[in-house]
Structure 1
Amino acid sequence: MSQPNHSQNKSMRSSSVVKPILVGAGIALLAISFFVFGVDNPHPEWGKYWMIRPLIITPLAGALGGAFYAFMEYQASRGFNRTIAILLSIVVYFVGLWLGTVLGLAGTMWN
Protein backbone atom coordinates (compact mmCIF):
# COMPACT_ATOMS: atom_id res chain seq x y z
CA MET A 1 0.00 0.00 0.00
CA SER A 2 1.38 3.46 -0.88
CA GLN A 3 1.14 6.64 1.16
CA PRO A 4 -0.42 9.71 -0.51
CA ASN A 5 1.94 12.60 -1.03
CA HIS A 6 0.57 15.44 1.13
CA SER A 7 3.35 17.88 0.25
CA GLN A 8 1.85 18.41 -3.22
CA ASN A 9 -1.55 19.20 -1.75
CA LYS A 10 -0.05 21.73 0.65
CA SER A 11 1.78 23.59 -2.12
CA MET A 12 -1.36 23.65 -4.24
CA ARG A 13 -3.32 25.19 -1.38
CA SER A 14 -0.70 27.83 -0.63
CA SER A 15 -0.47 28.85 -4.29
CA SER A 16 -4.25 29.10 -4.44
CA VAL A 17 -4.07 31.62 -1.57
CA VAL A 18 -1.34 33.71 -3.17
CA LYS A 19 -3.11 34.14 -6.50
CA PRO A 20 -6.21 36.00 -5.17
CA ILE A 21 -3.98 38.15 -2.95
CA LEU A 22 -1.86 39.21 -5.93
CA VAL A 23 -4.91 39.78 -8.13
CA GLY A 24 -6.58 41.88 -5.43
CA ALA A 25 -3.44 43.96 -4.90
CA GLY A 26 -2.97 44.40 -8.66
CA ILE A 27 -6.51 45.64 -9.21
CA ALA A 28 -6.14 48.06 -6.30
CA LEU A 29 -2.80 49.30 -7.65
CA LEU A 30 -4.34 49.97 -11.05
CA ALA A 31 -7.29 51.78 -9.46
CA ILE A 32 -5.15 54.07 -7.28
CA SER A 33 -2.66 54.66 -10.10
CA PHE A 34 -5.50 56.12 -12.15
CA PHE A 35 -5.99 58.80 -9.48
CA VAL A 36 -2.39 59.37 -8.38
CA PHE A 37 -0.73 59.61 -11.78
CA GLY A 38 -3.58 61.73 -13.12
CA VAL A 39 -2.49 64.70 -10.97
CA ASP A 40 -0.61 67.21 -13.09
CA ASN A 41 0.04 69.94 -10.53
CA PRO A 42 0.00 68.65 -6.93
CA HIS A 43 -0.44 71.15 -4.13
CA PRO A 44 2.86 72.13 -2.51
CA GLU A 45 1.54 71.40 0.98
CA TRP A 46 1.16 67.71 0.06
CA GLY A 47 4.91 67.25 0.10
CA LYS A 48 7.41 65.95 -2.40
CA TYR A 49 6.62 62.23 -1.98
CA TRP A 50 2.86 62.48 -1.44
CA MET A 51 2.04 59.61 -3.80
CA ILE A 52 3.99 56.93 -1.90
CA ARG A 53 1.36 56.48 0.82
CA PRO A 54 -1.61 55.80 -1.50
CA LEU A 55 0.52 53.51 -3.68
CA ILE A 56 1.32 51.36 -0.62
CA ILE A 57 -1.86 51.45 1.47
CA THR A 58 -4.41 50.85 -1.29
CA PRO A 59 -2.75 47.70 -2.71
CA LEU A 60 -2.43 46.38 0.86
CA ALA A 61 -6.17 46.85 1.28
CA GLY A 62 -6.72 45.07 -2.04
CA ALA A 63 -4.47 42.22 -0.93
CA LEU A 64 -6.52 41.84 2.25
CA GLY A 65 -9.66 41.71 0.11
CA GLY A 66 -8.05 38.98 -1.99
CA ALA A 67 -7.10 37.08 1.16
CA PHE A 68 -10.71 37.30 2.32
CA TYR A 69 -11.80 35.88 -1.04
CA ALA A 70 -9.37 32.97 -0.61
CA PHE A 71 -10.76 32.37 2.88
CA MET A 72 -14.34 32.38 1.60
CA GLU A 73 -13.35 30.04 -1.24
CA TYR A 74 -11.97 27.67 1.38
CA GLN A 75 -15.18 27.94 3.38
CA ALA A 76 -17.22 27.25 0.23
CA SER A 77 -15.23 24.08 -0.34
CA ARG A 78 -16.14 22.99 3.19
CA GLY A 79 -19.87 23.37 2.63
CA PHE A 80 -20.68 27.07 2.92
CA ASN A 81 -23.04 28.37 0.22
CA ARG A 82 -20.82 29.28 -2.74
CA THR A 83 -23.05 32.07 -4.07
CA ILE A 84 -23.16 33.82 -0.70
CA ALA A 85 -19.41 33.37 -0.32
CA ILE A 86 -18.67 35.04 -3.67
CA LEU A 87 -21.13 37.88 -3.11
CA LEU A 88 -19.77 38.52 0.38
CA SER A 89 -16.22 38.46 -1.00
CA ILE A 90 -17.08 41.05 -3.65
CA VAL A 91 -18.75 43.35 -1.12
CA VAL A 92 -15.85 43.05 1.35
CA TYR A 93 -13.31 43.66 -1.44
CA PHE A 94 -14.97 46.85 -2.67
CA VAL A 95 -15.51 48.20 0.85
CA GLY A 96 -11.86 47.45 1.65
CA LEU A 97 -10.73 49.05 -1.61
CA TRP A 98 -12.76 52.16 -0.83
CA LEU A 99 -11.37 52.37 2.71
CA GLY A 100 -7.83 51.82 1.45
CA THR A 101 -8.28 54.57 -1.10
CA VAL A 102 -9.60 56.96 1.56
CA LEU A 103 -6.75 56.11 3.95
CA GLY A 104 -4.16 56.44 1.22
CA LEU A 105 -5.42 59.75 -0.12
CA ALA A 106 -6.29 61.33 3.25
CA GLY A 107 -4.63 64.71 3.54
CA THR A 108 -3.99 65.00 -0.17
CA MET A 109 -6.69 64.39 -2.76
CA TRP A 110 -9.24 63.21 -0.17
CA ASN A 111 -9.57 66.27 1.99
Structure 2
Amino acid sequence: MTQRNNFTIQGINRKSLITRMLIGGGVGLIVISLFLSGTGEPNPEWGKFWMLRPLIIVPIATAFGSLSFYSIDFVGSQGTLKKVLAFAFSILSFVISLWLGIVLGLDGTLWN
Protein backbone atom coordinates (compact mmCIF):
# COMPACT_ATOMS: atom_id res chain seq x y z
CA MET A 1 0.00 0.00 0.00
CA THR A 2 1.42 3.36 -0.96
CA GLN A 3 0.59 6.53 0.83
CA ARG A 4 -0.07 9.68 -1.18
CA ASN A 5 0.16 13.21 0.07
CA ASN A 6 -2.60 15.41 -1.21
CA PHE A 7 -1.10 18.63 0.03
CA THR A 8 -1.13 21.46 -2.42
CA ILE A 9 0.63 24.76 -2.11
CA GLN A 10 -1.59 27.65 -2.99
CA GLY A 11 0.16 30.49 -4.77
CA ILE A 12 -0.18 34.15 -3.97
CA ASN A 13 -2.71 36.04 -6.02
CA ARG A 14 -0.86 39.33 -6.44
CA LYS A 15 -3.78 41.22 -7.92
CA SER A 16 -6.01 40.42 -4.95
CA LEU A 17 -3.22 41.19 -2.50
CA ILE A 18 -2.38 44.56 -4.06
CA THR A 19 -6.06 45.48 -4.33
CA ARG A 20 -6.63 44.83 -0.64
CA MET A 21 -3.53 46.80 0.31
CA LEU A 22 -4.63 49.75 -1.83
CA ILE A 23 -8.09 49.71 -0.28
CA GLY A 24 -6.60 49.57 3.22
CA GLY A 25 -4.21 52.41 2.44
CA GLY A 26 -7.07 54.45 0.99
CA VAL A 27 -9.15 53.94 4.13
CA GLY A 28 -6.19 55.05 6.25
CA LEU A 29 -5.68 58.12 4.07
CA ILE A 30 -9.34 59.09 4.38
CA VAL A 31 -9.35 58.63 8.16
CA ILE A 32 -6.19 60.68 8.75
CA SER A 33 -7.35 63.34 6.28
CA LEU A 34 -10.61 63.73 8.19
CA PHE A 35 -8.68 63.86 11.44
CA LEU A 36 -6.25 66.48 10.16
CA SER A 37 -8.95 68.62 8.58
CA GLY A 38 -10.34 69.32 12.03
CA THR A 39 -7.14 70.89 13.30
CA GLY A 40 -7.19 74.60 13.86
CA GLU A 41 -4.11 76.76 13.79
CA PRO A 42 -1.04 74.48 14.02
CA ASN A 43 1.86 75.18 16.33
CA PRO A 44 4.49 77.24 14.43
CA GLU A 45 7.38 75.18 15.79
CA TRP A 46 6.10 72.03 14.03
CA GLY A 47 7.29 73.30 10.70
CA LYS A 48 5.63 74.14 7.44
CA PHE A 49 5.02 70.59 6.19
CA TRP A 50 4.05 68.86 9.44
CA MET A 51 1.01 67.20 7.83
CA LEU A 52 3.14 65.15 5.42
CA ARG A 53 4.34 62.75 8.09
CA PRO A 54 0.88 61.46 9.13
CA LEU A 55 -0.34 61.53 5.51
CA ILE A 56 2.48 59.14 4.58
CA ILE A 57 2.78 56.91 7.65
CA VAL A 58 -0.91 56.13 8.25
CA PRO A 59 -1.71 54.83 4.73
CA ILE A 60 1.44 52.67 4.77
CA ALA A 61 0.54 51.21 8.17
CA THR A 62 -3.04 50.48 7.19
CA ALA A 63 -1.96 48.98 3.87
CA PHE A 64 0.17 46.47 5.74
CA GLY A 65 -2.60 45.99 8.28
CA SER A 66 -4.99 45.05 5.51
CA LEU A 67 -2.69 42.20 4.50
CA SER A 68 -4.49 40.09 7.08
CA PHE A 69 -7.64 40.20 4.94
CA TYR A 70 -5.78 38.07 2.43
CA SER A 71 -5.82 35.20 4.95
CA ILE A 72 -9.58 34.87 4.44
CA ASP A 73 -8.90 33.42 0.97
CA PHE A 74 -6.91 30.56 2.49
CA VAL A 75 -9.53 29.54 5.05
CA GLY A 76 -12.56 30.22 2.88
CA SER A 77 -13.18 26.59 2.02
CA GLN A 78 -12.51 25.23 5.51
CA GLY A 79 -15.84 26.10 7.08
CA THR A 80 -17.78 29.11 8.18
CA LEU A 81 -16.41 29.22 11.73
CA LYS A 82 -12.84 29.51 10.52
CA LYS A 83 -13.88 32.11 7.98
CA VAL A 84 -15.65 34.19 10.65
CA LEU A 85 -12.64 33.91 12.98
CA ALA A 86 -10.28 34.94 10.18
CA PHE A 87 -12.51 37.93 9.38
CA ALA A 88 -12.62 38.97 13.05
CA PHE A 89 -8.83 38.67 13.27
CA SER A 90 -8.46 40.73 10.10
CA ILE A 91 -10.72 43.51 11.41
CA LEU A 92 -8.82 43.57 14.72
CA SER A 93 -5.41 43.71 13.06
CA PHE A 94 -6.57 46.46 10.69
CA VAL A 95 -7.90 48.57 13.57
CA ILE A 96 -4.66 48.07 15.52
CA SER A 97 -2.57 49.06 12.50
CA LEU A 98 -4.75 52.14 11.95
CA TRP A 99 -4.36 53.13 15.59
CA LEU A 100 -0.58 52.59 15.60
CA GLY A 101 -0.22 54.47 12.32
CA ILE A 102 -2.12 57.45 13.70
CA VAL A 103 -0.02 57.43 16.88
CA LEU A 104 3.25 57.20 14.92
CA GLY A 105 2.16 59.80 12.40
CA LEU A 106 1.01 62.37 14.91
CA ASP A 107 3.77 61.84 17.47
CA GLY A 108 5.50 65.13 18.13
CA THR A 109 2.82 67.26 16.53
CA LEU A 110 -0.78 66.98 17.68
CA TRP A 111 0.09 64.32 20.26
CA ASN A 112 3.11 65.73 21.99
Output aligned runs, 1:46-65, within 5 Å: 46-65=46-65
Q: What residue ranges of structure 2 are gaps of 5+ in the alignment?
A: 1-10
Structure 1 unaligned spans of 5+: 1-9
What's the offset of the Cα at 1:78? Answer: 6.3
The alignment covers a number of residue pairs equal to 100
The residue that corresponds to 1:15 in the other structure is 15
Deviations 1:75-107 (A, max 9, x none): 314637111100000000001100000000000
Partner of 1:96: 97
Higher helix share: 1
Please state whether the residue corresponding to 2:78 is helix, strand or coil: coil
Query: In structure 2, how many angstroms separate the alpha carbons of the residues matched to 1:69 and 1:45?
Result: 40
Q: AA paired with 1:83?
A: V
* Distance across 2 between alignment mates of 1:21 and 1:76: 19
Separation in structure 2 between the aligned mates of residue 15 and residue 51 of structure 1, nearest angstrom: 31
Instruction: Tell me what 2:83 maps to.
Output: 82
Query: Separation in 2 of the partners of 1:105 and 1:46?
Result: 11
Structure 1 stretches of 4+ moved >4 Å: none
What is the aligned-residue RMSD (CA, Å)? 1.8
- Secondary structure of the residue aligned to 2:40 is coil
TM-score of the two chains, using structure 2 as the length reference: 0.81
User: How far off its partner does 1:65 sit?
Assistant: 1.3
Corresponding residue for 2:6?
none
Report sequence identity in percent: 41
Normalising by structure 1, report the TM-score.
0.82
Task: Report the equivalent of 1:39.
Answer: 39
Shift of 1:19: 1.3
Q: Give the Cα separation in 2 of the matches to 1:79 and 1:44.
A: 55
- Counterpart in the other structure of 2:3: none
In the alignment, residue 17 of structure 1 is paired with which amino acid? L
Distance 2:31 2:46 in 1: 20
